[in-house]
Amino acid sequence: MENFAMNLWLEYIIGKSEKDDIGEMYAQLARELPKVMSVVATRHCNLQCKHCIFQKERQYFFNGAALEIAVKTIVSQMLPNPIVVHEGRIFEPKHLSWLQAIRQIRPDNKIGMIDNGSYATHISKIKLAGFKFDWLDISVDGPKRIHNFQRGSKDSFEVAINGIRNAQKVLTADGEVNSLMTLTKINYASVLETCKTLPKQVSQWHIATITPTRAELKKLTLSENEFKISWNQIKLANVLRVVVLKIYEVSDMLKLAKAVGGVKFFEAFEKAQMGFSSVNFVLEGVLVRYFPQSMAPKETFVLDGGVYRVPYYGISHTLAELNREELEKYTIGKVTAESNFRLLYEECVIGWRENFSREAFKEEAFIFQQIKNLQ
């Protein structure tokens, strides 16, 4: 079963399993290879957003040839119908080389890109190369004033909207343009206004809580009251267009439970469907997707240049920081033409369990017990 590890996680969390040893869950996690590869093709960006998981880099150029070899090596070994995500930090025309290569190697794969809209300055070069994305995800973090403030740029809103409106020029015939709003203390009360601002071209609208992988990001996380304000606006927005709320921090699950009440939360949660790396449930008409941090390696294979990093935390450090000995746990290893996808992933799961997952799982169990106590 491809999501057996997630089923085991749920059984442990809601108390349906009497087993004390969670080793079976991690053993199964190591067997279930990620369906997604996230490629960080450059650490350079034209913005430095207040909520960004990346830090400002002094060193950001990767060896293009080595990156292409790494991408081709992994995608050729992935299971049928893989997904490759260009995660930036921004699109550059030189990335077309490896994008076209993996399209040729794996015609069954879907290739998407997360972008701030700046890709649109290169539309002519993308079209000239004959390349098409299967989907684009252009972030819009609020109405113009709020978005520009959170993104630290006076024209980033116009760039994002332009990227959405021109997306079809670089998409496949059935390609989609989606949009993501990351909730922070800056924009939490602007959900409904943002919904009304989005161009009609947006097919899917995702709203995500911030992942504070660094101390300076914690100051942007929502209080319980701020989260409740966002939730009430999300419900109203969901009447206008379908909204998907994505949660990565278990503390935000507690905030959600307090916003709706423990009984209502657990009634919905116990009916959850297991996604490959998420728990999916409908609460007050809104689809919620929760990604447990204890299971994070399964969500995506993070290729940072030509190096395999652990999810979230690996790319939140600068390249200079990652060279320090005490941060070795964030790096699985360099990917070469001889690399074995399965062995690298298994190594990631082992490292994740030892360095991150044990504490994450303890916190998840503790928080869900608090949620149970709300009933």
DSSP 52-69: -SSPP-S-----HHHHHH
Confirm if 89 and 43 have CB atoms less than 8 A apart: yes
Q: Which residue has the tokens 């939730």?
A: 231
> Among candidates 203, 189, 195, 181, which has minimal Cα distance to 134?
203
> Three-class SS string for 78-94?
CCCCCEEEECCCCCCHH
Task: Give the C-alpha separation, 369 to 86, whole Å.
Answer: 37
Task: Give the C-alpha separation, 56 to 317, whole Å.
Answer: 9
pTM for this model (two decimals): 0.95
Question: What average pLDDT does range 187-198 have in this prediction?
Answer: 98
What's the topology of domain 4-373? TIM Barrel (3.20.20)
Return the pLDDT at 57: 80
Return the pLDDT at 234: 98
Return the pLDDT at 209: 96
pLDDT for residue 1 is more than 60: no
Token reading at 98: 């490896």
Return the pLDDT at 60: 66
Strands (E), the chain: 36-40, 83-86, 110-115, 133-139, 171-183, 202-209, 243-247, 273-274, 279-283, 286-290, 301-304, 307-309, 331-334
> Among candidates 203, 112, 123, which has minimal Cα distance to 163?
123
Confirm if 165 and 131 have CB atoms less than 8 A apart: no
250-260 and 358-373 helices, crossing angle to 10°: 10
Question: What average pLDDT does range 165-172 have in this prediction?
Answer: 98
Question: What average pLDDT does range 177-194 have in this prediction?
Answer: 98
Return the pLDDT at 339: 98
Residue-wise pLDDT for 268-327, tens only, equals 998 999 999 999 999 999 999 999 999 999 999 999 998 999 988 888 888 888 888 788
> Among candidates 368, 370, 339, which has minimal Cα distance to 10?
368
Residue-wise pLDDT for 118-152, tens only, equals 999 999 999 999 999 999 999 999 999 999 999 99
Residue-wise pLDDT for 201-241, tens only, equals 999 999 999 988 888 899 999 999 999 999 999 999 999 99
Q: What percent of the chain has pLDDT over 90?
A: 81
Return the pLDDT at 239: 97
358-373 and 4-13 helices, crossing angle to 10°: 50
Return the pLDDT at 338: 98
Q: Where are the domains of the chain?
A: 4-373
Residue-wise pLDDT for 53-89, tens only, equals 888 886 666 788 999 999 999 999 999 999 999 998 9
Query: For residue 309, is the peptide bond before it cis, meaning its omega torsion is within 30 degrees of 0?
Result: no
Residue-wise pLDDT for 332-358, tens only, equals 999 999 999 999 999 999 999 999 998
**pLDDT band per the 50, 70, 90 thresholds, residue 20:** low
Question: What average pLDDT does range 79-100 have in this prediction?
Answer: 96
**pLDDT band per the 50, 70, 90 thresholds, residue 14:** confident
Q: Could you tell me which residues are beta bridge partners of residue 281?
A: 288
Q: What is the chain's percent helix, strand, coil content, to nearest 5? A: 45, 20, 35
Return the pLDDT at 16: 65
Cβ partners under 8 Å of residue 261, min gap 6: 374
| Angle in degrees, CA 13, 18, 24, rounded to 5 | 75
Amino acid of residue 310:
V
